[in-house]
Structure 1
Amino acid sequence: MKKHTLALLILFGFAFPGFSQDTTQKVITGRSNSLKQQKKPYVILISADGFRYDFAKRYHADNILRLASEGVSAASMIPSYPSVTFPNHYAIISGLYPSHSGLVNNTFYDRVRNERYAMGSKLKVADGTWYGGSPLWVLAEQQKMLSASYYWVASEAEIKGIRPTYYYIYNEQIGINSRIKAVVDWLNLPPAERPHLITFYLPQVDHEAHLNGPESPQVDHAVHFIDSAVNELQKAVKTTGLKDVNFVFVSDHGMTRVDNQNPIGIPAAIDTAKFVISGDGILVELYAKDKQYIKSTYDALKKEAVDYDVYLKTNVPPHLHYGVTDDWHNRIGDILLIPRAPKVFNLWNSKKINPGWHGYDPTVVKDMHASFYAWGPAFKQHLNIAPFENVSVFNLVSSILGISHPDKTDGNNKLPNLILKKKPNDKAF
């Protein structure tokens, strides 16, 4: 299981026959790196969805552990709340908590637009008006540094009029070898055309952990696939001859086994004529059609609540950054129902509920914690660090690439100051 070849990578790729998906690379023409930016280093930001903080050691991802031992390893990385895929990928790339970026969940309701965002809707995902803040590729492009994305949340959207210079629309038909080749091809471009920021997303562990649970043989296999893919990627990048390429390996969240045999039903106190309901098994949000029903419904829910907590938007625990003062885009529900692990809601009367879930408060459920490893010439060596919030990855990458970000973000510079090498005359980042 530990020694995978490229032949196995081909087998465990993104092949889902029967679906017509756009597999062509998109290129924004007319751009080039400025002479100043051509001298900058490179960052390949890799995300393995659902790669829990302990998976590398638990399943012996020997290549990742070896590479990380040459650089930096975190005990874990703390995701933003809710600990789900879209909000956390965007938190990493924008430096904003979900409540501040406006991407408050994988699926949510917007009162002003009277419209739902859903990660399964290609039209919504590609609509840049849903996303607040400035992703790193937007800032890079604004500062005449080219970027590329082999998938990342919001990379298909035009945000502030900008997409990455090179990008793909998310699909699961392109095999891993082709994806690695595309990265190498980008890095072999002439300096004026070569991206310095590259994002690279891998979904396999999340898929298997949802379907089979985090301790399953299928997750073991998926972790080894990721381990082999990362190893092949870094070996392929070496063939370019570029000396200043840095790798940052992260995940968006962890995963835990839930009580999928005894889910929580829809509470009797919820009147769908009075509220719009949004959410999933880990977070249910109620949006009042008439504000006069909020208090009475909240009181009724509090009385009947078993195995879950009920909050008004005004009394959500502050550490979640998910209450009224943090709701910059007015997208958080008036009433929130949060199950206590390992419980989940069966919100839509599903016949089957997966055994693996994420989304819980990471300060309560350690299994929600994500992975962080980094290696390359910008990083100190043989360094182990304590857990930190994922919004600071934004600060880290912007520090390596020298990308300025004038707007307020939620991360800080403790992470780059701690793990990056500094030249004798460098000031703090």
Structure 2
Amino acid sequence: MKTYFALIFSLFIAATAFAQNDTTQKIVEGRKNSPDQEKKPYVILISADGFRYDYAEKYKATHLLALSSSGVSASSMIPSYPSVTFPNHYTLVTGLYPSHTGLVNNSFFDRNLKESYSMGNKTKVADPKWYGGTPLWVLAEQQHLLAASFYWVASEAPIKDTRPTYYYIYNDKISIHNRIEAVVAWLKLPAESRPHFITFYLPQVDHAGHLYGPDAPETEKQVHFVDSAVYELTKAVTTTGLNVNYVFVSDHGMTKIDREHTISKPAAIDTSKFIVSGDDILVQLYAKDRKDIQETYQQLKKEAVDYKVYLKENMPTNLHYGTSDDWHNRIGDILLIPNWPKVFNMYGRKQLNPGTHGFDPYAVMDMHATFYAWGPAFKSHLKIPEFQNVNIYPLITAILGLNYTEKIDGTKQLAQEVLK
């Protein structure tokens, strides 16, 4: 019996390792652009993870500044709460707040499924049951407009039984040169097979921001890497002869935290009564018995120093993260939110990274993200004020001429403001 379980475990490890190192392009066969869709514009949606709203100017990202100057630049883009990677990437491509997509954090518990989601679990990341809404690539494919993804949150999952026609399983083994070559190859395909919507993801700035902080030379170096990568992408794409529109965004910003005075696990948290989920910036308690909620809430309120305690029903309404917004029943019964720049250290780690994100973007400007756009669909030399990231979805659907009927949280105001 031990040998059997050892074999099963080894196969699981091998399968996980393969998934993390699978560099082959996936193609859904049998799809073609409809004749009408072949005439549609092209959009490349680029995300530079953790690229704070001020990084381009702070670190003199000359190519991005020049490209955005030729088109549209926003003073900043406001991420949805919580300002973390998976929820915001999925919000960008659905036009829905995280509470409405169901992807309410990088990790969380689902009461109905009695199961937890984690962005580090490749099997769950690829399971469509976790994702509400209709991502842009699904909407495009439903309307016979081909899509491609060189990485994006949920692009590996068959949401509504649909993946992009061309996609890759996320890994860090493929060089930036080869990624750019793949995009160009897509755009050089015959018109009937050519994707009109492409996602392109760059994680480098976020990694550096966490490890070294937003003001470190290592972070500056990765800003310059992204700056060069985007420039090389635009140069390579020009060889196709196509007039392509670019939307450059980030999911959130980055801030320096107080690592010397972290918040320990509150004594009032009883793990026999609550499932605890979350991270340094947002801790969520899911009651095993609802009768325990009020007493624990009151105890936490008395105990709280450097953090706020909320019941789900009294969360600030502007965060869209309370009872009425919890469409998928995945937000905790009690939520603990540290006061910036404080963070929780729930498990007594000896050293925390100097940089992080996840705070309320309406209270902490460092959480704000970047938005630049350029190409034939966009007005020239236009600067706009900050806006919410749920508006990216209707912007891209307007460029591509895609129709959507489902309720979303974004509006068409941004599209009306920045498109010709």
Q: Report the TM-score when normalising by structure 1.
A: 0.93
Q: List runs of 5+ in structure 2 lacking aligned partners.
A: 1-16
- Partners of 1:363 and 1:67 in 2: CA distance: 28
Structure 1 stretch displaced more, 351-360 or 162-171: 351-360
| 1:61 aligned onto 2:61 | yes
Q: How does 1:24-423 map to 2 (within 5 A)?
A: 24-243=24-243, 245-421=244-420
The match for 2:5 is: none
CA–CA distance in structure 2, aligned partners of residues 238 and 316 of structure 1: 48
- Separation in structure 2 between the aligned mates of residue 53 and residue 309 of structure 1, nearest angstrom: 26
> CA–CA distance in 1 between the matches of 2:401 and 2:18?
44
- 2:4 aligns with none
- How far is 1:19 from its partner? 9.8
SS in 1 for 2:36: helix
Cα-to-partner distance string for 1:61-86 (whole Å, 9 max, x where unaligned):
00000000000000000000000000
Whole-angstrom CA distance in 1 between matches of 2:347 and 2:241: 53
Moved more, 343-352 or 93-102: 343-352
Amino acid corresponding to residue 172 of structure 2 in structure 1: E
1:72-112 C-alpha deviation (Å, 9 max, x unpaired): 00000000000000000000000000000000000000111
Deviations 1:205-242 (A, max 9, x none): 00000000000000000000000000000000000011
TM-score by length of 2: 0.95
CA distance in 2, matches of 1:403, 1:265: 49
Inter-partner Cα distance in structure 2 for 1:18 and 1:377: 41
Whole-Å separation in 2 of the counterparts to 1:21 and 1:275 = 36
Q: In structure 2, give the amino acid aligned to 1:186.
A: W
Structure with higher helix content: 2
Unaligned runs of at least 5 residues, structure 1: 1-16, 422-429
Using the alignment, how far apart are the partners of 1:102 and 1:232 within structure 2? 36
Matched residue count: 404
**Structure 1 stretches of at least 4 aligned residues deviating more than 2 Å after TM superposition:** 17-20
How far off is 1:348 after superposition?
A: 2.3
- After superposition, the CA RMSD in angstroms is 1.1
Structure 2 letter corresponding to 1:268: A
Instruction: Name the SS for the 1:112 alignment partner.
Output: coil
Distance 1:57 1:82 in 2: 25
1:391 alignment partner, SS class: helix
Instruction: Report what 2:13 is aligned to.
Output: none
One-letter code of the match for 1:82? P
Cα deviations across residues 154-199 of structure 1 (Å, max 9, x unaligned)? Answer: 0000000000000000000000000000000000000000000000
Shift of 1:346: 0.6
Please report how far the alpha carbon of residue 350 of structure 1 lies from its aligned counterpart in structure 2 after TM superposition: 1.8
